Structure 1
Amino acid sequence: MARLREFDYEQVLDGALQLFWRGGYEATSLDGLLSEVGLSKSSFYGAFGSKHDMLLASLDRYIETVLQANIDDLRRGSPRAAIIRSFEKILGFQPTSKTCFLQVCAIERGGHDQLVRMRVRRGLELLEEAYRDAIVRGQEAGQFAADADARVLSTFLVANLYGLQVLGRANMAGDARKKSLATIMKALA
């Protein structure tokens, strides 16, 4: 007879996500991971299979929770305000703000790990689609240029979002990034 899990799967996954997010995959040791989430090796292997499988599950969890919350927020209120709010929330405009977990995984593993790359791409496509929907709503409301290609603009937003995030990690002043955001928003007009 199989034993029931004696831990909260989502809570353990959230702890693993935070650890991978802070330190990256390679820097996260299995012992550190087990200590962070409070599992024995047998429970860990029984529930997750491997450190890599836990990373994949963490990426899925990030997409389903953190990224989805950002996507849901893009659907609220004025499209222009929603896009600005999204950038401000994701960028944080603080040098200590976290880099998006999709970006962390893309940089560290995306070049050689197809399973990670596929999940990162899925997350980016979801975000891009949410920006496209906000742009279309903004076009219909007269906030953005009606003749502009919403798909191209949504790709433009995602590319600039992640570019500004890299600049933030290099401690580029938040004021310069805010001015860049203002210029990005002018491209939608």
Structure 2
Amino acid sequence: MPRNKEFDYDEKLVTARDLFWKKGYNATTMNDLVDTMQINRSSLYLAYGNKHDLFLKSLTNYIQNKDKQYSQAAKKSEKPLEAIRNVIYSVMESALRDTNCLFTNSVFELATTDQEVSEMLKKQTLKAVDLFEKLLTQAKEDGSLLSDKEPRALAHFLISGLVSIYNTHILFADAELTKQTTEILIGSINQ
């Protein structure tokens, strides 16, 4: 008779995700994962696959959380530009609280060398761009967006700017500078 799993799959996935988040993919070893997740190696392989499979599952989990964060932040306002500001502020709050970002780390560590990771990151980025483009188009229609920039191009710029919020905080650990970077990004919307 097969043994029941002696651990909570989702809980251990979050533990692995947080380790990859902290150390990065390349610096995380299977021994690190076994020790941190507190499951034996064979259980890890049976439940999650190899290190790469586990990383992809971890990144998927992280992306799902970011989707939820962006969606909840945007829904706090019916005004499109305010919804965008809410999303940007939510990213700033995450950067200040977490001081790291698995998505941002993965862009710089793996996007040029791992096709699967690159495709996941690109898909998620385009999903965020679509959200911002929709809101920017609504803002243009209601007259609150004064910029003559194309909504899609501006959406790409703003989404890439979210990485700058994390980048600033990761490198300088300066809350005031991170807040200023956020305000400059928001200020660029109607320029």
> Do Structure 1 and Structure 2 share a fold, with TM-score over 0.5?
yes
Q: Percent identity?
A: 24
Q: Give the whole-Å Cα distance in 2 for the aligned partners of 1:110 and 1:89.
A: 24
SS at match of 2:168: helix
SS at match of 1:117: helix
Report if aligned partners of 1:62, 1:101 keep a CA contact under 8 Å in 2. yes
Q: Give the whole-Å Cα distance in 2 for the aligned partners of 1:93 and 1:115.
A: 26
**CA displacement at 1:150 relative to structure 2:** 1.1
- The amino acid across from 1:107 in the alignment is F
Using a 3 Å threshold, how does the CA distance of structure 1 residues 144 and 53 change in structure 2: closer, same or farther?
same
Matches for 1:60-75 after TM superposition, within 5 Å: 60-75=60-75
C-alpha distance after superposition, 1:59-102 (max 9, x if no partner): 11111223332234223303222222222221238666433211
2:111 equivalent to 1:110: yes
TM-score (norm 1): 0.86
TM-score (norm 2): 0.85
SS at match of 2:31: helix
Q: Give the whole-Å Cα distance in 2 for the aligned partners of 1:26 and 1:92.
A: 27
Matches for 1:78-97 after TM superposition, within 5 Å: 78-92=79-93, 97=98
- The amino acid across from 1:91 in the alignment is M
Using a 3 Å threshold, how does the CA distance of structure 1 residues 95 and 61 change in structure 2: closer, same or farther?
closer
**CA displacement at 1:52 relative to structure 2:** 0.8
Question: In angstroms, what is the RMSD of aligned CA positions?
Answer: 2.4
Q: Give the match for residue 121 of structure 1.
A: 122
SS at match of 1:166: helix
Report if aligned partners of 1:95, 1:169 keep a CA contact under 8 Å in 2. no
Q: Give the match for residue 130 of structure 1.
A: 131
Report if aligned partners of 1:94, 1:174 keep a CA contact under 8 Å in 2. no
**CA displacement at 1:155 relative to structure 2:** 0.4
- The amino acid across from 1:122 in the alignment is K
Q: Give the whole-Å Cα distance in 2 for the aligned partners of 1:28 and 1:183.
A: 35
**CA displacement at 1:156 relative to structure 2:** 0.9
SS at match of 1:92: helix
Using a 3 Å threshold, how does the CA distance of structure 1 residues 180 and 170 change in structure 2: closer, same or farther?
same
2:166 equivalent to 1:165: yes
Q: Give the whole-Å Cα distance in 2 for the aligned partners of 1:95 and 1:164.
A: 9
2:40 equivalent to 1:40: yes
Aligned residue pair count: 189
Consecutive unaligned residues in structure 1, runs of 5 or more: none
Larger helix proportion of the pair = 2
Q: Give the whole-Å Cα distance in 1 for the aligned partners of 2:127 and 2:68.
A: 9
Report if aligned partners of 1:132, 1:154 keep a CA contact under 8 Å in 2. yes
C-alpha distance after superposition, 1:100-144 (max 9, x if no partner): 211111111112111111111112111111211222232233321
Consecutive unaligned residues in structure 2, runs of 5 or more: none
**CA displacement at 1:3 relative to structure 2:** 4.4
Q: Give the whole-Å Cα distance in 2 for the aligned partners of 1:61 and 1:98.
A: 18
**CA displacement at 1:180 relative to structure 2:** 4.0
